[in-house]
Structure 1
Amino acid sequence: MAKSMILGADGQPIDLASVNTPQTSQLGHLQRELQSHPTRGLTPSKLAAILDAAEQGDLTAQFDLFEDMEEKDGHIASEMGKRRRALILDWEITAPDNASTLEKRNTEQLGELVQSIPDFEDVIFDATDAIGKGFACLETEWHRVEGFWLPKTLTHRPQSWFQLHRGYRQELRLRSNTADADGIQGEALRPFGWVTHIHKAKSGYLERTALFRQLVWTYLFKNYSVGDLAEFLEIYGIPVRLGKYPPNASEREKATLLRALVGIGHNAAGIIPEGMLIDFKDAATGDPKAFELMISWCERNQSKVILGGTLTSGADGAASTNALGNVHNEVRKDLRDGDIRQLNATITRDLVYAIAAMNGLAPDGIKRCPRFGLITGETEDIQVLSEALPKLVGIGVQVPQDWANQKLGIPMPQPGQVVLGVTPVVQTAPTGTAALTAVMPAPPAQPLTVSQTMQPQLANNVQQATSPWFAQIRKLVESATSLEQIRDGLEQLIPNMTLDQFALAMGEAMAAARLAGRYEVLQEAGAL
């Protein structure tokens, strides 16, 4: 395919020469930067200044703060790990709707190419870094393998390497001291050179949509409470030690006594000169529950922000019930499904389409490009669905078999594959007298009437006349190709019954009717 025919997701032509070298390889100043640690000595005023600077376009300190929060706060790291790892699932590449044979073949080949990307699960995990920080950028380095263009590496780049430009639309750009021809600061991201996942935790400008911005204040309050609790334990957890020395003690002896006091507090052992005393006073009373209450509140708030609830993270023993836990877990599933939809769109646009376009597997552009999709693997209740499907099919609902297999989590069998099944019981159709008796209803609980009692005798008497008739009807139905042909054939079969046979059958039937009538009259007379 000609270079000029390769189009990006925005419809603009792509020059393959621009994808041979990673873009950041020419920006050495970013690679030499060392991250700062804004959480050291963090105060409310300092935190507010960091957030204000981000809103003015300086994102560096804000994202360094986010890195510190995830590294130093175990609860945030744990909850974010749950949400991000929930997206490490099986995946598939699906063809567009009403796909042609060529599109189906391209989809299959594209799936094999994506499957060959090394450590693809790590790519998905790195992209989910956008959930907490608003966006995540993975730089793509390309190479050719057996004639195909494939990503050699997909490397996560720190969010502090980027800056935002507000114009007609917000644009992420690499931080640089240079400007382009339009006077915009920074370098625009090259097409097919990046997988840029933007996660919207809330609506608004990108620098304010990061989930971590909703966690920074609880992080700060929790840090204050943890520090206060540590100070409380240091002061009140160890009893006060008082050293007594004689009036004529020298400065050297006083220093020795002081070292002994300090050593006893940490080592529970020490020595002092003879004549000196150490007195242990009772620890002052204090209650650490206030600090623990604040820490607990902060962590519950963090769990709600990240996972949508608290009962999937910890139990307090009071309001923790199985029903409430299930409700909170359903909220987690809603968040996961939303994360999956956003990530599927990004991987399709920036990775799957890039591979397809560079290898000629998406000739009609991104609109007809195969789609990437994470598979949750959740299925319907087999028992419930097995009871519902026969009822739905019985009232005329048309249920596709592949849909039913998907809901049940049962793959469609491949050609020649052995499948489980129930061996059908073959029953031969009854003829003659058996045909007449087969249509009789099951014997009722009440006593049989005279006509019901004589019906088997009547069937036996007409068997000679009806047996050839049933054989001819069966032959007619088996050989007919339409209902009209069966109708015309029956009209020809009925006259074949001889007059004597017909008279005999009618005579038996009339005799049975007369006897039944007499019996009913006698029964009525007896009742009177």
Structure 2
Amino acid sequence: MSIIDQHGHPISTRTLAEPQTARLVHLQRWTVASHMAGLTPARIAQCLAAADQGNILGQHELFDDMFERDAHLRCEYEKRRGALLGLEWSVEPPTSPSAKEKKAAAAIEDILRNAVDDFEDLILAMMDGVGHGFAPIELEWQRIEGMWIPRFHPRPQGWFKMDMNRRELRLNDGSADGAVPLSMGWVMHQHVKAKTGYLGRIGLGRVLVWPFLYKMYSLGDMAEYLSTYGLPMIVGKYMPGAGDEEKASLMRAVTALGRDARAIMPDGMSMEVQKVIASGDGTPHLSMMSWADGAQSKALLGQVLSAEAKATGMGSGVADLHQLVRRDILKADARQVAGTLTRDLVYPLAVLNGLPVQGMLRCPRFRFETGEAADLKLLAEALPALAKGGARIPLSWVHEKSGIPEADDGEEVFQVEAPPAPAAPVPPAPSEPQPAAAASYRPLARAALAALSLPARTAPADVVDHQLAALSASAQPEVDAWLAAIERMLADNPTATAVDVQERLLGMFGDLPIEQLADVMAMGFAAAELAGMADVHDGR
């Protein structure tokens, strides 16, 4: 079956049946040669110059020696390599995705989380590109339950060479120009853009090699100093006129005492163990090593406080600044690794497993979550005020800033139980004074009674008109006050639901006596009946 690779070229799935290096026996037998014996500035400069000319083998072997032998360098390097493992990640669909694109992104993420067991090891292997400049991880594709699933095999940088133009990596298959790495057969991570276009110069190891060299010199000088002056001096004293044989006997005694802590010597001779007082105590060597450690920490992490727990005398501001620098480096690493994973892993997974992907432009994107969650307390206090002020805040942005994932359809959602509605107040006894709210019904009652008590000789139409006018004039101020209170309540709570409005109305007017309301309603029905009578009278 022919498919289109991430570079837009057709490729047959038959070429993915076995890893590209499976039949290169000379690479399987390749071993790393150490450069530590007789390491000098001239030899280091020679390795770096050869890499500039396209021969990168010696440079990468030197880098391997450095990371293996320098404890501080290895510690700082592992901090940077492992930082990405602490980030959450996801596979996101492209912008304005269709339903099929969303489904494809979810399927790829499911494969990486559940079917690929060594995915974290892949990220660690890719971060080797920080020191070496590139990290080659070969893919071995397997068919498992009808799906193409990759296995990852990190390969040494020594298996590769530069092409004749020194701009592209080639697999060292024994040919003059090397073999092009098989498309969709490698996760080939180049950590940064090539400096001046030459891939041999992009590794951070080129910066780290010089502090490493100075540290090794200082360490050797320190060891020699301790070997010479670290032990107490033993002085033997012989008698005046002692012959050569007696002197030789005393020398053997001094030597034996320094080695075995026991010796014999002729009578009359003596030995003294003296403390050497010299101007040198190793401090210059330690200072040089401390400088080299700091230089390596700065090159890898951008700061030194995480390696040296010591007081700065400047409060927590310096520590916060150094943490920000580390955060910036972490974000840059995450962005570059995510781009490589999208190109060399996510796209092949989608194409090989028949997921709907329309080329690299609409391919799902691997994404590390590098944003910091906002303070939930501050967010909860600020958002309601902003919403009341008219701010249109997307719900997805709130979830992103708070770090709280959005629930899927049908997923159980955390809820806070609404407070119970206040109990209806007990109507006061007739003998007790009426509450203030009930007073608003009294004008209505008086108006209705006055209208009904007009003389009987008054025409029904006049009775109705007089009654309605009286009711309207008396009730209008109270009705206006109610409407104003309800409008203020709705303006203060623009996002309130119908249930919330009902509860607030009960809280505002729940204390109105039912008896007074019933009287007013009865009067209203009486007014309607009188209106009907007036209509019948006029019709006659």
Shorter-chain TM-score category?
Answer: 0.7 to 0.9
Give 3-state SS (helix, strand or coil) of 2:296's partner: helix
Normalized against structure 2, the TM-score is what? 0.75
> 2:292 & 2:418 partners in 1: Cα distance?
62
Matched, 1:218 2:211: yes
Q: Structure 1 residue 156: deviation in Å?
A: 0.8
Task: Provide the residue aligned with 1:310 in structure 2.
Answer: 304
Q: 1:381 pairs with 375, 378, 387, which one? A: 375
Q: 1:420 pairs with 415, 418, 424, which one? A: 415
Whether the aligned pair in 2 keeps the contact of 1:243 and 1:261 (CA below 8 Å) is no
> 1:18 & 1:303 partners in 2: Cα distance?
43
Task: Provide the residue aligned with 2:360 in structure 1.
Answer: 366
Task: Provide the residue aligned with 2:8 in structure 1.
Answer: 11
Whether the aligned pair in 1 keeps the contact of 2:93 and 2:102 (CA below 8 Å) is yes
Matched, 1:500 2:467: yes
Q: 1:325 pairs with 319, 328, 331, which one? A: 319
Task: Provide the residue aligned with 2:262 in structure 1.
Answer: 270
Normalized against structure 1, the TM-score is what? 0.77
Query: Structure 1 counterpart of 2:204, which letter?
Result: L
User: Residues 416 and 131 (structure 1 numbering): CA distance in 2 closer, same or farther, change over 3 Å?
Assistant: closer
Query: Structure 2 counterpart of 1:142, which letter?
Result: W
Task: Provide the residue aligned with 1:26 in structure 2.
Answer: 23
> 2:464 & 2:82 partners in 1: Cα distance?
80
Report the more deviating stretch, 132-141 or 25-34: 25-34
Whether the aligned pair in 1 keeps the contact of 2:234 and 2:254 (CA below 8 Å) is no
Query: Structure 2 counterpart of 1:162, which letter?
Result: F
In the TM superposition, what are the counterparts of 1:238-277 in structure 2 within 5 Å?
238-243=231-236, 247=243, 249=245, 253=249, 256-257=252-253, 259-264=255-260, 269-275=261-267, 277=270
> 2:206 & 2:106 partners in 1: Cα distance?
42
Whether the aligned pair in 1 keeps the contact of 2:447 and 2:474 (CA below 8 Å) is no
In the TM superposition, what are the counterparts of 1:179-198 in structure 2 within 5 Å?
179=176, 185-198=177-190
> 2:315 & 2:263 partners in 1: Cα distance?
56
Give 3-state SS (helix, strand or coil) of 2:174's partner: strand
Give 3-state SS (helix, strand or coil) of 1:270's partner: coil
In the TM superposition, what are the counterparts of 1:409-448 in structure 2 within 5 Å?
409-414=403-408, 415=410, 417-423=412-418
Query: Structure 2 counterpart of 1:303, which letter?
Result: S
> 2:29 & 2:471 partners in 1: Cα distance?
112
In the TM superposition, what are the counterparts of 1:69-108 in structure 2 within 5 Å?
69-88=66-85, 89-108=87-106
User: Residues 172 and 505 (structure 1 numbering): CA distance in 2 closer, same or farther, change over 3 Å?
Assistant: closer
Whether the aligned pair in 2 keeps the contact of 1:458 and 1:509 (CA below 8 Å) is no
Matched, 1:462 2:451: no
Alignment deviations for residues 77-121 of structure 1 (CA, whole Å, 9 cap, x no partner)? 111111111101332111222222222222222222222112111
Task: Kindly tell me the number of residue pairs found equivalent between the two proteins.
Answer: 446
User: Residues 456 and 76 (structure 1 numbering): CA distance in 2 closer, same or farther, change over 3 Å?
Assistant: same
> 2:330 & 2:471 partners in 1: Cα distance?
80
Q: Structure 1 residue 410: deviation in Å?
A: 1.8
Give 3-state SS (helix, strand or coil) of 2:173's partner: strand
Query: Structure 2 counterpart of 1:421, which letter?
Result: V
In the TM superposition, what are the counterparts of 1:152-163 in structure 2 within 5 Å?
153-163=151-161
User: Residues 252 and 365 (structure 1 numbering): CA distance in 2 closer, same or farther, change over 3 Å?
Assistant: same
Matched, 1:60 2:57: yes
Alignment deviations for residues 124-155 of structure 1 (CA, whole Å, 9 cap, x no partner)? 1111110111100001111111111111x211
> 1:162 & 1:425 partners in 2: Cα distance?
72
Whether the aligned pair in 2 keeps the contact of 1:261 and 1:278 (CA below 8 Å) is no
Query: Structure 2 counterpart of 1:90, which letter?
Result: E
Query: Structure 1 counterpart of 2:139, which letter?
Result: T
> 2:120 & 2:474 partners in 1: Cα distance?
86
Q: Structure 1 residue 425: deviation in Å?
A: 5.8
Q: 1:348 pairs with 331, 342, 350, which one? A: 342
Root-mean-square deviation (CA, aligned residues, Å) is 3.1
Q: Structure 1 residue 402: deviation in Å?
A: 2.7
Q: Structure 1 residue 273: deviation in Å?
A: 4.1
Whether the aligned pair in 2 keeps the contact of 1:239 and 1:283 (CA below 8 Å) is yes
Query: Structure 2 counterpart of 1:500, which letter?
Result: Q
Query: Structure 2 counterpart of 1:297, which letter?
Result: W
Q: Please list every run of 5 or more consecutive structure 1 residues that lacks an aligned counterpart in the other structure.
A: 180-184, 431-452, 468-494, 511-528
